[in-house]
Amino acid sequence: MHTFQIKTYREGFTSSKPHFFILSKGLNAGKPLETPCPNCFAITTESEEARNFYFWLSYGLWQAQAFTPHLTGSVVPFIRIGDARAVLLAGQEKAMKDRRKYLKSLALLQDFEQKAKILQKQVELVKQVKRAIMFQILLE
């Protein structure tokens, strides 16, 4: 079974071990990130395999809104580090219980994420074409 360490991110954080970050504040608390931001936790693992496991576990838990019930704060909601750890450990336990089903769901999730990125690029290209059409008509 994989293990991880979770710490509050501080500027200047460096680690030789595989790591990623999750948001700690806002309605997207729990969302995994490749690059840090001021309001996040750093998750460090022993191997790249464990890092990928926890990254995608965090992503799945975030998509399922598993972190939402643990948010506190009236103006800017946030999740406590202990609550984030508890959600990850509970998710890990459920994922390990039926690993085959989890891996199948994970593959679907990754496929949909890739398709969403392609669609976002297509939407951006459509916006550029619309701008070019209007530029050609109005500003030439």
25 HSE (CA, 13 A, CB side): 11
Predicted structure pTM score: 0.81
Q: What's the pLDDT score for residue 102?
A: 87
| Per-residue pLDDT tens over the stretch 85-116 | 999 999 999 999 988 998 898 889 889 989 99
Q: Could you tell me the two tokens for 45?
A: 């693992």
Structure confidence by residue, pLDDT tens digits, 32-84: 999 999 999 999 999 999 999 999 999 999 999 999 999 999 899 999 999 99
Tell me the average pLDDT across 15-29.
Answer: 94
> How confident is the model at residue 74, as a pLDDT?
87
Mind spelling out the 3-state secondary structure of 27-57? CCCCCEECCCCCCEEEEEECCHHHHHHHHHH
Overall average pLDDT of the 116-129 stretch: 97
Structure tokens belonging to residue 36: 């840090």
Q: What is the pLDDT at residue 1? A: 62
